[in-house]
Structure 1
């Protein structure tokens, strides 16, 4: 049986990339879907079916051991390396695959849930440009409160959706608000929604908000 050897310096390299929806060559848009801690790429494909946009291609990278980085997202960044950088490399590979198939960044949406939302949000902030959209479902930028946020680049009007419970035990509402402000400073059109008393989950309102971003990206 063939096994994959993990590279300690890039632990998520060589992990599977699940693909669903329309073939990239004929898709109207592409969504990069980043799973949470303990989740997997297959679970994100379940969310893709809920989004109900069959003309889109969906690419979901898989983390080694189902975890992108070992500690909480507000821990010192160095403690969560090389997982953070390796996870961002996985996102970069997914974006490159979509672009190589002819889908421009303006029709690529980055979406993550929980730990995957934190990774996707931090990736987007570090690589700000005009995307089809960014959707962080229960997540925010990575690092302690003292982390410098001197990101370069510009979202140039990219729609950014941040949805989270106001009492999420994993994601403080203050960090979600801070992330929204960072995205605004980078030129994103930010839609922040904090849901009173919700659990650490995804609700229908968030699904509908993501659908609206997808529809707008393919109308452009």
Structure 2
């Protein structure tokens, strides 16, 4: 885990890297967004991957890895709180696998948090339902129902033809988070791709500059 805890920070960020990435990689987004005064904690996954498969894999296969990731996120939140950040000023942000984990952490344990910025990601889900579908890249649907209320702000982005993140899962994730009470903005980039885009950096700057 890498922490950047500038004196007097008013906003905090838990940053989660994608498959093959690192804590240092995802922290560099703060430099691109010109946010030197934001406190940030970036956990690093074992072997630089939060889970070994697609996040669309069956829930029983995913759950042990999700639980391990959620523990890392909770530790990062605790680090920011110990540094003096109010829970209401803490955000999650992630790319790809990290975006999926950030969303799942927000849905499961994000009560009172400011929100989440998920760059090319969707909710992992808590159980399997339905049959396999081309809209979900040959995987079954997942249960996206979570208890409680989440009144933070959510930024979800994805390319229309992302090779790893089905647009359908992003749309379903947006609906699920709205049902929890969150304010959700979805940005769909045209064409194929899987990358952090200029609008993602702008969203990060816009939400964390408060």
- What corresponds to 1:67 in structure 2? 49
**Cα deviations by residue, 1:139-176 (Å, 9 ceiling, x for unpaired):** 001145443222012112x1100011010000000000
Runs (5+) with no aligned partner, structure 2: 129-139
Alpha-carbon distance between aligned partners in 2 of 1:142 and 1:149, rounded to the nearest angstrom: 8
1:104 shift after superposition: 1.1
Runs of 4+ in 1 over 3 A off after TM superposition: 143-146
1:102 shift after superposition: 1.8
Residue 88 (str. 1) matches residue 70 (str. 2): yes
Give the conservation status (yes or no) of the 8 Å contact 1:69–1:81: no
Alpha-carbon distance between aligned partners in 2 of 1:172 and 1:198, rounded to the nearest angstrom: 11
Alpha-carbon distance between aligned partners in 2 of 1:163 and 1:111, rounded to the nearest angstrom: 12
- What corresponds to 2:80 in structure 1? 98
Moved more, 143-152 or 121-130: 143-152
- Aligned-pair Cα RMSD in Å: 1.4
Residue 153 (str. 1) matches residue 148 (str. 2): yes
- What corresponds to 1:207 in structure 2? 201
Give the conservation status (yes or no) of the 8 Å contact 1:21–1:54: no
Alpha-carbon distance between aligned partners in 1 of 2:68 and 2:157, rounded to the nearest angstrom: 25
Aligned partner (choices 147, 171, 176) of residue 165 of structure 2: 171
TM-score normalised over the length of structure 2: 0.89
1:100 shift after superposition: 1.8
Residue 118 (str. 1) matches residue 126 (str. 2): no
TM-score normalised over the length of structure 1: 0.85
1:77 shift after superposition: 2.0
How many residue pairs match? The answer is 197
